[in-house]
């Protein structure tokens, strides 16, 4: 990292000064680089990185309204912690801070004091429909950032684990497309700066069995948690993307990672504190992925530690959130991104591999500073018992309430794929919904058909676009907040990672076709795309699909029906998962709506336009649905 000390004419470390250079004072970086007046988190804890930062090094400011105290130096002098108090009367602006060495040397660095953020995150709820995109694989709007000088070798669209060129400019240009699907929020994979070069520590065999290195195109291997990856653009480009999304009424969800960094982070070999990591590069355990040990009251600390303290893939440095400096650093980092990029919500990676006590601290800090922020937690497990243990709203056996608002509904995801892709009994869905009572609030779960961590729906054995349409209908009409993974709206195929992260057709120079337009899509792709857009519009038009109470009406081997009710409004959704037409017939006496209580006979048309009308006579509904079809019916109010 470049030193800023030379800007102010003070002493600067030079590589050719030999061993004695370690005692010379040098500045490289300060985290965070800015903070704001009136923050609920005060003081802010600074982490200065450089050389010669031994005990006795202090920081002098040019303003009486900035107070620095409570110093802590690393043993090797590479890091200095200090508390910064920003007084209410301090004017916003960039200030010169001076590091003062015990031997009299001085080095200056800039720090920016901001006004209190006016941004108020809008969060998300069941009123929303989330579009999930991996920026590098979506659209290349600025080819000039495809191959930065230090990392030209990492850009290669022919290699599935290299950078492909998608960026913030491309995302911004496609916001109208995203909105045209009826989606109301966007979640992207992390935007942190990742390793500029090839990653030889995480290599995978190619088709010839030869191991090839990967890159940080996905964003989950940060080397700087306060910087934007240069392949995506600059901080200004990220801010422009978020601002443009907000102008269209779209919310933006940031993907954050508090469990680990990438193996090439400078901290990996040189941590700021002795307990910064759980273990060291040369002496650590690998994560055993046994997530359930965190909720098992019989687990000892040793049993839990393999899941909490182990390093992902045996190479990703694992943060020790029990170190107060680590916890404070990560909490401040989350707040800084929300304030500076104006995100509306946070998707947090790998919940069960971080101590639950930390989640309580972290969520409390975020909600205190930004009351409207909503947190979506990732826990990759199909057991609703484990999932519900991490949703906020009640304490676990450990006395901790995580305050996590929403969880990815991996419990429902599993039967969705088994039922609609593989043709298993649709009762598996009904059975999973029957476990909703386990959650503090099942209506706040986030439902999905697939994300970037598994093969795409269309690669499951037996998958068809008819099954995909049914799966998408389910998540769009049942409780929770639906989420769609980019490309699923055109039935994009894709096997395991990285094949499930293909480039979106038309987003890159030289693409043979442009699937962002109807003309560039095949007839099959347009069929699925139009279905998604229709579902998105129905959700916008009908509050009952977003907020209604759910009631199951039919439980058969391959037929399923449920109602959504809100006041006098009622929708009935019917599925036939069989490979041949089938009659779905079920009583409606359980619905407290006037057409049923008054004994009316009537029929309703399918709002998707693919199935015959639903006929109601003497309180019984019936319809003969075509094979592998879902239909949506709205009950009359009078």
What per-residue confidence (pLDDT) applies to 102?
76
Query: Which candidate, 312, 332, 311, 318, places its Cα nearest to that of 276?
Result: 318
Dist CA 553 CA 344 (whole Å): 37
What per-residue confidence (pLDDT) applies to 19?
40
- Give the per-residue SS3 of 611-629: CCCEEEECCEEEEEECCCE
Give the residue extent of every domain in the chain. 5-114, 130-541, 549-634
Q: Give 272-300 pLDDT, tens digit per residue.
A: 999 999 999 999 999 999 999 989 999 99
The Cα angle at residue 253 between residues 249 and 258, in degrees rounded to 5: 165
Q: Tell me the percentage of the chain whose pLDDT exceeds 70.
A: 96
Question: Do the strands 130-133 and 211-214 form a parallel or antiparallel pair, or are they unpaired?
Answer: unpaired
What per-residue confidence (pLDDT) applies to 149?
62
Tokens of 580: 């041949």
Q: Give 29-43 pLDDT, tens digit per residue.
A: 999 999 999 999 999
Dist CA 244 CA 236 (whole Å): 12
Assign 3-state DSSP to the chain and report helix, strand, coil percentages, each to 5.
30, 25, 45
Tell me which CATH homologous superfamily contains domain 130-541.
Glycosidases (3.20.20.80)
Give the Cβ contact number of residue 144 at 10 Å: 9
Tokens of 548: 């209604």
Mean pLDDT for 315-339 is 98
Q: Give 446-500 pLDDT, tens digit per residue.
A: 999 999 999 999 999 999 999 999 999 999 999 999 999 999 999 999 999 999 9
What DSSP designation does 548 have? P
Mean pLDDT for 359-380 is 98
Rg (CA), the chain: 27
Establish whether domains 5-114 and 130-541 are of one fold. Answer: no
Q: What CATH code is assigned to 549-634?
A: 2.60.40.1180
Please give the residue that has the higher pLDDT: either 420 or 17. 420
Mean pLDDT for 165-187 is 98
pLDDT band at 21 (very low <50, low <70, confident <90, very high): low
Query: Which candidate, 232, 199, 227, places its Cα nearest to that of 213?
Result: 199
Mean pLDDT for 416-441 is 98
> Do 104 and 121 meet the contact criterion of CB atoms below 8 Å apart?
no
Dist CA 122 CA 371 (whole Å): 9
pLDDT band at 589 (very low <50, low <70, confident <90, very high): confident
Lowest mean pLDDT among 159-163, 204-208, 373-377: 204-208
Strand, helix or coil for residue 356 = helix
- What is the per-residue DSSP string for 258-269? -SB--TTSHHHH
Q: Using CB atoms within 10 A of its CB, is residue 95 exposed (0-12), middle (13-18) or buried (19+)? A: middle
User: What is the chain's mean pLDDT, rounded?
Assistant: 94
What per-residue confidence (pLDDT) applies to 9?
30
Please give the residue that has the higher pLDDT: either 58 or 597. 58
Strands, sheet with 374-377, edge to edge from the N-terminal-most edge strand: 406-407, 374-377, 345-348, 251-256, 185-188, 130-133, 481-485, 446-448
Among all chains, which residue has been given the structure tokens 């081997």?
557
- Please count the CA atoms within 13 angstroms of the CA of 243 that sit on its side-chain side: 10
Mean pLDDT for 209-238 is 95
Please give the residue that has the higher pLDDT: either 134 or 596. 134
Does the pTM surpass 0.85? The reply is yes
Dist CA 49 CA 69 (whole Å): 17
pLDDT band at 10 (very low <50, low <70, confident <90, very high): very low
Mean pLDDT for 306-332 is 97
Query: Which candidate, 87, 189, 177, places its Cα nearest to that of 136?
Result: 189
Mean pLDDT for 105-110 is 95
Architecture of domain 5-114: Sandwich (2.60)
Tokens of 226: 């306060």
């Amino acid at each position: 990292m470049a030193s800023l000390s030379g800007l102010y004419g003070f002493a600067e470390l030079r590589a050719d000064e030999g061993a004695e250079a370690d005692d010379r004072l040098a500045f490289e970086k300060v985290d965070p680089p800015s903070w704001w007046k009136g923050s609920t988190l005060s003081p802010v804890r600074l982490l200065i990185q450089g050389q010669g930062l031994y005990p006795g090094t202090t920081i002098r400011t040019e303003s009486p309204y900035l107070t620095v105290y409570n110093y802590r130096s690393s043993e090797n002098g590479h890091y200095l912690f200090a508390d910064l108090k920003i007084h209410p009367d301090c004017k916003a602006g960039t200030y010169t801070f001076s590091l003062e060495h015990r031997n009299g040397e001085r080095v200056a660095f800039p720090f920016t004091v901001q006004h209190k953020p006016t941004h108020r995150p809008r969060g998300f709820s069941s009123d929303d429909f989330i579009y999930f995109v991996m920026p590098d694989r979506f659209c290349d709007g600025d080819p000039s950032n495809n191959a930065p000088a230090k990392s030209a070798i990492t850009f290669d669209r022919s290699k599935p684990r290299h950078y492909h060129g998608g960026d913030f400019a491309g995302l911004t240009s496609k916001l109208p497309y995203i909105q045209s699907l009826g989606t109301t929020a966007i979640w992207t994979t992390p935007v942190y700066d990742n390793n500029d070069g090839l990653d030889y520590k995480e290599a995978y065999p190619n088709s010839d069995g030869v191991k090839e290195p990967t890159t940080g195109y996905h964003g989950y291997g940060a080397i700087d948690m306060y910087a934007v990856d240069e392949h995506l653009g600059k901080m200004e480009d990220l801010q422009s993307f978020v601002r443009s999304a907000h102008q269209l009424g779209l919310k933006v969800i940031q993907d954050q990672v508090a469990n680990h960094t990438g193996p090439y982070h400078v901290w990996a070999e040189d941590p700021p504190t002795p307990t910064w990591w759980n273990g060291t590069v040369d002496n650590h355990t690998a994560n055993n992925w046994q997530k359930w040990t965190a909720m098992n009251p019989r687990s000892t600390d040793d049993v839990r530690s393999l899941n909490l303290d182990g390093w992902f893939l045996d190479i990703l440095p694992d943060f020790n959130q029990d170190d107060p400096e680590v916890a404070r650093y990560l909490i401040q980092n989350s707040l800084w991104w929300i304030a500076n990029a104006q995100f509306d919500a946070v998707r947090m990676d790998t919940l069960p591999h971080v101590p639950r006590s930390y989640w309580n601290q972290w969520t409390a800090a975020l909600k205190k500073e930004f009351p409207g922020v909503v947190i979506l937690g990732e826990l990759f497990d199909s057991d609703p018992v484990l999932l519900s243990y991490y949703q906020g709203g009640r304490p676990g056996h450990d006395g901790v309430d995580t305050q996590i608002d929403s969880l990815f509904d991996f419990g429902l995801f599993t039967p969705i794929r088994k039922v609609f892709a593989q043709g298993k009994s649709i009762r598996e869905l009904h059975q999973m919904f029957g476990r909703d009572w386990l959650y503090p609030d099942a209506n706040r779960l986030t439902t999905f058909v697939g994300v970037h961590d598994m093969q795409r729906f269309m690669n499951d054995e037996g998958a068809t676009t008819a099954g995909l349409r049914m799966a998408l209908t389910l998540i769009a009409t049942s409780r929770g907040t639906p989420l769609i993974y980019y490309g699923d709206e055109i039935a994009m195929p894709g096997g395991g990672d990285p094949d499930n992260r293909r480039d979106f057709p038309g987003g890159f120079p030289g693409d043979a076709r442009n699937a962002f337009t109807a003309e560039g899509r095949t007839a099959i792709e347009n069929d699925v795309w139009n279905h998604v857009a229709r579902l998105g519009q129905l959700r916008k038009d009908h509050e009952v699909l977003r907020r209604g109470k759910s009631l199951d009406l039919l439980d058969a081997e391959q037929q399923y029906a449920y109602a959504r009710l809100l006041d006098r409004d009622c929708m009935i959704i019917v599925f036939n998962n069989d490979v041949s037409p089938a009659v779905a017939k079920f009583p409606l006496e359980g619905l407290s709506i006037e057409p049923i209580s008054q004994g009316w006979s009537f029929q309703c048309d399918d709002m998707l336009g693919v199935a015959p009308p639903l006929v109601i006579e003497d309180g019984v509904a019936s319809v003969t649905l075509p094979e592998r079809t879902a239909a949506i019916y709205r009950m009359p109010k009078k």
